[in-house]
Amino acid sequence: MPEALSASEVGKEIAAHRKHEAERHLRRDRLISIVEAVLLSVVALIAAWSGYSAAKWGTESSLSLAKASATRTKASLASLQATQIRTLDSVSFNAAFEAYANDDPRLFRVALKRMRPGYRPAVDAWLATRPLVNPDAPPGPAFMPQYKIPEEAQARALDAEADGHFADGHSAASTADKYVRLTVFLAAVLFLVGISSHFPLTGIRVGLVIVGAALLVFAAAEILQLPRPPA
């Protein structure tokens, strides 16, 4: 029969087992602490980058919206100028047409000379249609393809440019919001990993670290899909 262990030997075995368990727990705690430190470091770097990107895109949005507003003002001014030119053309045409209808060549020549240079091609083209005897003639020079007001084209171009700036500003603001939302996720990771070390139970610490790591992976994957901040 095997010899039974003495009380002192049993005590030594228990002490050795406890020491082994303590060393194992210590190694596990150190490993968890290292993982927590790595997660906190990575999260801090990514959160800083996300905050920087959100600020840059926010600035880009403000600049684009300011450009849109300034360009829209220029478009409105060009449109107002075009309306004034069209009104002046109409007034000068009425005077010339009255002389033309009354068969007053001298007054007609004077009225033509007082017209806007850019208006004359349309007037000449309209007169060539013999409007007094031709029922199919256009109602006036403004209906001729030669009638052009540069300010109208400029207003349309500026409106289109303003629309582009506004769209860029809206897109930049949306990108900034996405970065801010991801920063909130990263803050949640910092919170979870930060409080994990205060729990004595290893299972809870590991669970919090796993949840934090999953949120970190999700946030990092989302950030990689977002456009880089503007220079």
What's the pLDDT tens digit per position in 189-198?
A: 888 888 877 7
Flag whether pLDDT at 135 surpasses 80: yes
Name the token pair of 50. 């996300």
Cβ count near 25 (within 10 Å): 11
Q: What phi, psi does 132 have (nearest 5°)? A: -75, -25
Q: Look at 22 and 89; give whichever has higher pLDDT.
A: 89
Name the token pair of 179. 């970065």
| The predicted structure's pLDDT at residue 196 | 79
Flag whether pLDDT at 207 surpasses 50: yes
Q: Is 87 exposed, middle or buried (0-12, 13-18, 19+ CB in 10 A)?
A: exposed
pLDDT category, 226, cuts 50, 70, 90?
Answer: very high
pTM of the model: 0.71
Q: What average pLDDT does the segment 43-69 reach?
A: 93
Q: What average pLDDT does the segment 22-32 reach?
A: 66
